[in-house]
Every structure is written in structure tokens, then in C-alpha cells.
A and B are shown apart, each in its own frame.
Chain A
Amino acid sequence: MSILFSGRVSSGATTRKVGVGRRFFMFWVNHVRQALFSLGELWRTPSASILTIGVLGVSLTLPATLHLLVKNVQQVSDSFTQAAEISLFIREGVSDTQISSLHKILQADQDIARVTHISKQQALAEFAQVSGFGSALNYLTDNPLPDVLLILPKNTSADSARQLMARLSKERIVEFGKLDIDWLTRLDAIVSLLRQAVLIIAVLLLGAVLLIIGNTIRLSIMSKKDEIEVMKLVGATDAFIQRPFLYSGIWYGVFGGLLAFLIVETMLWWLQGAIVSVTSLYESEFHLMALSMAEFLSLMLLAILLGLSGSYLSVRRHISAIEPTGP
């Protein structure tokens, strides 16, 4: 409906009687058509598009890889949490019979999977061997090392291992118990540090991506300045002119996301061989975790959102700034 000329009907949809269903259908047909048209535009200016898609892809690869790294380290640290072993240090001057009776009692304990006794003599011999002090230790008048009982809990989670240790430490002949899970807490700390680093790097990179996409769209707006002026002169709204540029942004996102996915997959495939040879040495069941479907979809969604918002920021600023000049 016209503002100045009452009664002038000039919209394509209102001149004909069109049903709601058909109009809804046409709405989507139009959007698909424009999306395909924008795809064609990208195809026609390949150098600029490829550069932008490349930057977007590589920029998304880094956070995605770091995310995978964190995920895999997490898997490793989870598997090690299952390896908590308790060392019970026996008091000075306790007789061997007392120790072996405790050994028997503990072997019968419900919560304990295995008990190993390392006598002071064994410990000293082992120490002499690994430390390299060897003959120097002969000068010691008596053995300073205690007897040790190594306990492998049935339930090897960190918490129950800690409880078990507290209980066993109360035994009369036990000096103190030690649960070697400090390094696990440290690993956890490192993982969470890594995760924060990933977040920061991701935010920085994504900011850069936003600027790059915005700039590409800006250049393409500038190169179409004359065309945009003409469109404004014949009555196109900013929204109408914006649409193809927004679609370009979406396409950048789609292709950039796919590129990042391909790079990550290639990298995993490359590393897989190396990792298999390492893990087989450790007899570990570790295998590299790839991107899950949900992660792939979020990667794509993120890429598309970046493309769309990058172009939106640019389009908002630059299209309204173009004013047509004269007939």
C-alpha cells in the first residue's frame, strides 16, 4: 500500500489473491532461491571467498583441536584415577610376625584387592640399585627404611581409596599411610588451566574471524556500491539489499566450518598412527577420541553464527551509509 497515493496497490503478493499456505511456501522458495543466488555470487568471486573461508576454517581449527586435546587428556586422567595405590609405612621396631599377621588380616579384608609386603631389606636393596648410591649405603650402621605394605583397593576411585587409607592408618603398627594421588590433582589442575586457555584463545580467534568476515563483506558491498545505489533509487529497502550479503555470510560459515572439520579429521587420522605405537608400549587401552556428532554440529553452528553476525555487523554499518546521488 502506498504512502502518498491512497488506493494504489503495488505489491506483487496483493495484486493476486494468494492463499496463506501458498504465500508461506513462496516465502521459503524465495529464501532458497536467494541463498542459491548468493552461493553463485561466491562462486563468481572465488579468490576473495576462498581466502575468507580459509581464514575462518583455520581459525576454527585451533579451538576445535584444543578442545579435542582437553577431551583426550581428560580421558587419560580419568583412566589413571583408577590406579590409586596405598602405601602403609610400618612403625620402627615392629616384629616380622606382627607384620605378617597384619598382612594376613588385610588380605582377608573386603575392600582390598591385593596386599604386597616390601621388607626393609628389599627396599634398601632396591634403593641401592636405583639410586646408584650402592656401596655408600654399606656405611650405614642400620637400615633407615621402614617396612611397607602396598595395598591395592578393590574400589579404586580416589575418594574410597582415601577412606580406606584413613581406616588402615589407624592400625596400631602402622606409622602412617600414603595415597599417591597428588599428581592426579595436579593433572586435573592442568586440564582445567588448559580448558581456560582454550576458551580465551577461542574467544580471541573468533573475534578476529568476525572482523575478517565483516571486512570481506564490506569490500563486497563497496564493489557493489553503484548497484546498491540503483536499487535504493528504485525503492529497495535496506533489508532487501542486505539479504544477499547475509546469505554470503552464512555460506562463509558453512564452508569455513566444513574446512575446520576436515582439517581436524585429517590431523586425527595423521596422529592416530603415532599414538597407537606409543600406547601399545604402555599397554594402555587409550584411543584417540574424534569429534562426536554433537560437537560437529556445534562447530558448524558456531561457524554459521560467526559468518552471519560478521556480515550483519558489516551490512548494518555500510549499506545504510550508501546514499544514492542524483538522476
Chain B
Amino acid sequence: MLEFDQVSKSYAGGFVALDRVSFKLEKGEMAFLTGHSGAGKSTLLKLISLIERPSVGRVLINDVDLSRIRRPLIPYVRRDIGIIFQNHRLLMNHTVFDNVALPLVIEGFSGKDMVKRVHAALDKVGLLDKVRCLPQTLSGGEQQRVGIARAVVNKPPLLLADEPTGNLDPDLSKDIMRVFEAFNQVGVSVLVATHDLGLVARMKYRTLTLKQGKMINDGLLQYQEDPL
């Protein structure tokens, strides 16, 4: 469903963030993306969500080459991809409810239907009691979870997460991973970029490892034998 075909990305100034990366993620598959800080994880996710365009190579979703998507259509592509951002990206002067409801409002939901979905999403991340709070009044981990609820609220078929457990304690991290697993079990493809190698090793999912922009491992991660 998601396919990278010899994708390279160099930023202005000639820095090569991704170097001939190829992989495929099937429909309903869940995978981790790991690597050192600066290895290119966020860059890879940006190429999928059309925040950046590849310098060379093709990124395909369901055999549609994303380079063929013209600018006015980008929003519609993003609606199909739930994205959890490394730095939350919440609307700071709107309530948790408004934040989570945003993707629904954009797609024209309103009324009871919308409220029901927002509450369901917040329930999954355990924040139903914070509906009326402003993000500032939440802890870092709670803000992260609001971001997760927002990403999943419109049930996207592809879910991308960038360090979703960066601010969470181990127990909460596990809970969040369970949320992703639950989504994966109903057919959503999930790609999670993370540093948390312990968690990755325990979860036994396919793991893509980047090192200085190159894909050096694709498969189960042997944490003990191959420390990064």
C-alpha cells in the first residue's frame, strides 16, 4: 500500500537526509522506524504526508505516485493519513475537544455525530475527563495523547507517528502502543518512528532502521545483538 522506490532527499545546502531508501508497507501492516537522532526518520514521514517532496525516486500510496498530486489536492491526501507529530502541534488556545474535532470539522462533520467520534477518540487515549481543558493545562504526555486522538479521530487508513511516546512513562507508552495495535487490528496500516528500542524489541513488529539516511535493517530488530 505504501511504497518507497529508491527515494533520496537532500535538503537545501546539499545535506542528504535520505539515501536511496526502498521499502513497502502492506495494507494492515504495522512497522517501526528507528535510527539515531538525525537519521532521517522525520524526513521519511514528511515525504509521505507531502510536507516535503523527494529529490529522487518515487513515493507511492496504493500505486498512486505522490509526485503527481498537485498542490490543491494535498489537503485531501492528508485527510487519509493520520499524523502524530513529534512536537504535538496542538492549537494552544482551543480546548482539547476543539483540537480533536478539527479534522472532522474540516471534513464537514457537525452535531452529535462529531461529538460521538471525538469522545470515542479521547476515550481510547484515556483523556475523556479533559475534554474542556486547554492544552497548556495538560502535561507533556497528555498533550501527546491529544495529538494521537486527533490523528485517529477520522479513522484514517494510514497512521504515521513520530515519537508518539517521547514524553510518556513506560506504562503509558505501552498503553499507547496498544492503541496503535488496536487500530492495526481493524486494518489500519501503522508506521511508528521511535527511539524507544526497548519497546520496539518487546513488541515484535517489523522494524525499519535508518542510519545516516540509509536503510540498514528491515525486519525484526535484534536489540541485544545489534545495539545502535
Contacts and interface: CB of A to CB of B under 8 A. Distances in A.
B106 A324 contact: no
B84 A327 contact: yes
Contacts of A237: 72, 75-76, 106
B86 interface: yes
Contacts of A326: 42, 46, 51-52, 85-86
B118 interface: no
Contacts, number: 103
Contacts of B150: 234
A207 to B, nearest CB: 31
9 contacts: A3-B73, A5-B157, A30-B110, A227-B91, A229-B89, A230-B91, A233-B83, A238-B72, A327-B162
A8 B104 CA distance: 15
Given A233-B89, A234-B150, A327-B160, A15 B76 contact: no
A2 B84 CA distance: 20
> Which size class do B's interface residues fall under?
35 or more
Contact of A2 (B51, B69, B80, B109): B80
B160 A235 contact: no
> Which size class do A's interface residues fall under?
20 to 34
A27 to B, nearest CB: 10
Nearest to A240: B106
A4 interface: yes
Contact of A234 (B52, B103, B110): B103
B77 A230 contact: no
Given A5-B62, A233-B83, A10 B51 contact: no
Interface string B97-132: 000001110111110011000000000000000000
Query: Closest 4 interchain pairs by CB?
Result: A12-B109, A235-B79, A12-B108, A235-B78
B154 interface: yes
Interface string A254-268: 000000000000000
Given A8-B80, A230-B90, A327-B42, A235 B106 contact: yes
Interface in A195-240: 226-227, 229-238, 240
Contacts of B46: 326-327
Interface in A58-94: none
B200 interface: no
B114 A12 contact: yes
A11 interface: yes
Contacts of A227: 91
A325 interface: yes
Which residue of B45, B49, B155 has the most chain A CB atoms within 10 A of its CB atom?
A: B49
Contacts of A15: 109, 113
Interface string A124-149: 00000000000000000000000000
A4 B62 contact: yes
Interface in B151-169: 154-155, 157, 160, 162
A237 B70 CA distance: 13
Contacts of B69: 3
Contact of B45 (A16, A238, A325, A327): A327
Contact of B75 (A26, A226, A232, A323): A232
Nearest to A2: B80
Nearest to B150: A234
Given A5-B157, A230-B91, A11 B107 contact: yes
